[in-house]
Amino acid sequence: MDKRIVVSRVVPESALDVLREVGDVHVCPQDRPLTAPELREAVRGAHAIVTMLHDRVDAELVEAAGPQLEVVANVAVGYDNVDVPAVTGRGVTVTNTPGVLVDATADLTIGLLLMATRRLGEGERLLRSRRPWTFHLGFMLGAGLQGKTLGIVGLGDIGQAVARRARAFGMDIAYTGRRRVAADVEAELDARFLTKDELLRTADVVSLHCPLTEQTRHLIDEAALAAMKPTAFLINTSRGPVVDEGALAKALHEHRIGGAALDVFEREPEVEPALLDLDNVVVVPHLGSATTETRTAMAELAARNAAAVLSGREPLNPVRS
C-alpha cells in the first residue's frame, strides 16, 4: 500500500512531484489555513504531513494522524508552530527548510529599512492621495544610513546576510544574541557584540532575526522600546510575537522612536489596528521569502525531507528537540 502524504496547503507542482515518487499525495483543497479540527481530520492515516507556518503541530495532531506517522516536514525555517518535544517524543521526525530563504529575507529586510528611514511608503501614499506637493529642501526628510549603527538581534545566517548588505550602505554593525558568533564572522562583518541593553541604547536601526521562543516572545516590549534612541527604527522580519505590537503602536504614536517596519505580526494575519493609522510604520504581509524561486525551493526542500524519511534515509534538515 502506498504511504499517504498530506500537504496542508497548495505548494508548487515540482514539490508534489518529489512526494509522488514515494507515496500517495493528498493536498488539502481549502486554499486557506485549516482550523485545528479540519487539520486533524485531514491528516488521519498520514505517514507524512507537509505543514505551513500557520499549522499548529502538536501531540493532538500526531495522535489524530495515527501510529504510522513518520515525519512532519514544515515549509519554513522557523518551527515555533511545532511542539517539537511532543512530536519527536512519539517517534516522529520533524524537519524544516533553512538556508534557501536567507537571501530573499535579507533583501526584504533592507527594502523595509529603506522604506522606513526614507519614508518611501509615506511618499507613495501622498502621491496616490492626489494631494498637492512641491519640492523644497525640507520636504519629507528621512534619515541617511551612512555611518549609522545597525543593531542585529540574532546574527545567524539571515542576520549575517543583512549585515553584509548593510555594510555596502556604509553602516556599522553591532549584534546581540545568546552567544557570540565565530571570530572570523565578526572579523568579516567588523561586527561588535553587545548586550541587548547596550544594543537597544546605541543602535540607529534595530533589526530582529531571532527565532520565536518563550525567551524571545515580547523581547521588544515597552521597556525595550523606551531604551531605544528617539530617532531609532525597528525592523522585524523574524516572527510577529517577538514584538509587543500594542506597546510598539503606543511608542510610534507618541513618537518615542523614529519609526518601524514589520513583515510579520503578533496575531497574523491580523494586524494591530492602531499601527494602520500611523505614517511612521511600514507594514507588509509576510513577504520575507516571497520570491517565486525561494518559495519553490522551500517547498521542494520540505518534500525532499519527507521523501527521505519515508524511504528510510536521514532527512536533510532534521529539527532536534
Q: Are 51 and 72 in contact (CB under 8 A)?
A: yes
DSSP letter, residue 319: P
Q: Which residues pair with 310 in a beta bridge?
A: none
Q: Indicate the angle between helix axes 292-310 and 13-20, nearest 10 degrees.
A: 10
Degrees (nearest 5) of the Cα angle 160, 195, 198?
105
Q: Which amino acid is at 15?
A: A
Given the DSSP bridges, would you call strands 23-27 and 48-51 parallel, antiparallel or unpaired?
unpaired
Degrees (nearest 5) of the Cα angle 296, 300, 306?
150
Q: Is residue 286 flagged as an active site residue?
A: yes
Q: Is residue 253 flagged as an active site residue?
A: no
Cell numbers representing residue 184 in the block: 572570523
Helix (H, G, I), strand (E, B) or coil at 168: helix
DSSP letter, residue 201: H
Catalytic residue among 286, 295, 300, 304: 286
The CB-side HSE value for 27 (13 A sphere, CA atoms) comes to 14
Nearest CA-CA partner of 97 in 284, 262, 265, 306 = 306
Catalytic residue among 4, 47, 239, 295: 239
User: Active-site residue numbers?
Assistant: 239, 268, 286
